[in-house]
A and B are shown apart, each in its own frame.
Chain A
Amino acid sequence: MIIFSTPIIGQLETIMRHVLDWFHGTLNLPWAWAIVATTVVVRIILVPLTVKQIHSMQNLQRYAPQMKEIQKKYKADKQKQNEELMKFYRENQINPAASCLPMLVQIPVFIALYYSLRQFAKHPPGGDLSFLHFIPSIAAHTTTHWGGYILLVIYVASQMASTLYMSATADKTQRILFMIMPLFFVFVIARFPAGLVLYWMTTNLWTVGQGLITRRLIPKTPVPELPKRSSRAAPKEQPEEPPAPAAEPERQPKQPAPPRKVRRKKRAGRR
């Protein structure tokens, strides 16, 4: 993480330091919990954005069969495939779940925290820098202590879980790729201060919790009438229960013919 020291970064660091100082000084939280509290505050601010995103995602999953059809049709030409998908969204008034802004908002927080923790390592502040007795210092590199490895394992698990909830793509290969990614990034992240991994872990766990709560609280919106091309997919509309991956229910409607053949074969076999 090589970022040039610019005045903006200095200011970000100062703001972060004020926030952490407030949590530590006023609320008497240890430094590690001050980071957790900061993460929670950031995520609370982002709630309206993410809730809207989850709604859009639920809505998007209802159109998965048709979208899969488009993806299959333009398999060779990714560009055309994207354009057709966009057209489909527009035709059906779908609001695609993904958007770049909520993700970008967290970059300044992350950078500020990184620099603050670096400062902590150089000039340790007064007070407890440990976390739950297994991380001796949140300012030290994650892998300097065995506790850091536990943190990394939780990070990977939480990152995978949050990807499951928040990755808005219906493409199965892409989803798998996104799930595997944290395994590779763990080597990069291992060099970060433990406090940063703590931030990451907390934000991921928040994402998972928020996803679970939103799904439970908000009933799924009824499907608006399905476009014509879905005549084959319409009867398979029942798989509403599996709420998780959008990719799975899509596969089923694709083979309406083969199951019939299978049944005939079975009957023949019995006779």
Chain B
Amino acid sequence: MYRLGVAAVWLYRVTWGALFPTTCKYHPSCSQYAIDALRQKGLVRGSLLAGWRLLRCNPWSHGGFDPVR
């Protein structure tokens, strides 16, 4: 089931992600974090974690090393 989410991330990567190039302030990047989270935690928890990470990836946060735990 989580593959659905991973496919969505890839869809983003080849469309929007390629058109609006920015480098993420976190490592791993938001999209990689989303894939890792989906793989490790499943579709629902993985999506929530990825959503929370995206909210944290704003101009006021400081970024840094932040893998899925």
Which A residues lie within 8 Å of B58 (CB)? 49, 99, 101-102
Q: Which residues of B contact A (CB under 8 A)?
A: 15-16, 18-27, 29-30, 54-55, 57-65
**Looking at chain A's contact residues, is the secondary structure mostly helix, strand, loop, or mixed?**
helix
Closest chain B CB from A174 CB (angstroms): 7
5 A-B pairs in the complex with CB atoms less than 8 angstroms apart: A100-B22, A103-B22, A166-B22, A167-B23, A177-B21
Question: Which residue of B15, B21, B55 is within 8 Å of A167 (Cβ)?
Answer: B21
Complex alpha-carbon distance, A41 and B24, angstroms: 25
Interface residues of A (CB under 8 A from B): 1, 49-50, 52-53, 56, 82-83, 85-87, 89-90, 93, 95-104, 106-107, 110, 163, 166-169, 174, 177-178, 181, 185
**Distance (Å) between the CB of B51 and the closest chain A CB?**
10
Pair A102/B23 contact, Cβ less than 8 Å: no
Select the residue from B18, B61, B63 with max chain A CB neighbours within 10 A: B63
- A86 touching B30, Cβ below 8 Å: no
Asked if B21 and A100 sit within 8 Å, CB to CB, the answer is: no
**With the chains together, A52 CA to B57 CA distance in Å?**
13
Tell me which residues across on chain B come within 8 A of A99, comparing CB atoms: 22, 24-25, 57-59, 61, 63
* In the complex, residue of chain B having the shortest beta-carbon distance to the beta carbon of A111: B16
